[in-house]
Amino acid sequence: LISPLMGPILGVAYGSAVHNKDMIRIGLRNECWGFFLCLLMGACTGAVSTLFYAPLGLPGLTDLTGNSPLKSHEMESRGQWIALFTGFFTAAPSGVGLAIGVTNAAMNALVGVALSASLLPPLVNSGMCVTMGTIYTAASDATGSDMHFFTMGLISTLVFLLNFFTIWTFAYLTFRLKGISPSKREFQEPDAMVDFEPTLNSNTVPFLQVV
């Protein structure tokens, strides 16, 4: 399981290290696509979920969930301000581990880094919370829970953005510390790049393909 949102960050970080504008552009473009796709899927999930949970769900469907509340512990945990603090200290070593794993031809390290950074869940949670908050606002019996959903959605988005820029920054710094610079963009020094060259190419990392 590799996070589809981690690959583009890798491209942006490496492109920044070697001053490759095309790689940065492609990475940012694909990250934006992933960003909006996750929000859309979260919004759709949130809209459907409201049908099954009290107090806004349909009577027959809420019986299936035992009239339990709409919010869950996982949603709450990603919508609290403390998540920004914990997110930074998770994303920082993830950025370092990502760069080290890739430069040592250990692409499998991308799996653990992607899971630990938790990029996708906050975005999906944001889409769900904003949709649920909107439905609460439109409901005649809204009791203030709508603003709580909007707040959780905002914080979840901020968690993703913080993780994105933290991973980007620390991966970039690690690349530079390992000697990857614009002068080595064309892999003119095989001794330093022997493990790295076959790792980052359009065949192994699809987002590096120039479209």
Q: Answer whether residue 169 is part of any domain.
A: yes
Predicted pLDDT of residue 195 = 40
Q: Answer whether residue 64 is part of any domain.
A: no
Q: Answer whether residue 63 is part of any domain.
A: no
Q: Answer whether residue 102 is part of any domain.
A: yes
Tens digits of residue pLDDT in 159-169: 999 999 999 99
Predicted pLDDT of residue 42 = 93
- In whole angstroms, what is the distance from residue 23 CA to residue 119 CA? 20
Predicted pLDDT of residue 143 = 56
**Residue 54 pLDDT more than 50?**
yes
Mean pLDDT over 201-209 rounds to 48
Q: How many domains does the chain have?
A: 1
Q: Which of 34-48, 60-74, 156-170 has the lowest mean pLDDT?
A: 60-74
- Structural domain containing residue 24: 6-58+69-208
**Residue 83 pLDDT more than 80?**
yes
Tens digits of residue pLDDT in 97-110: 888 877 776 555 55
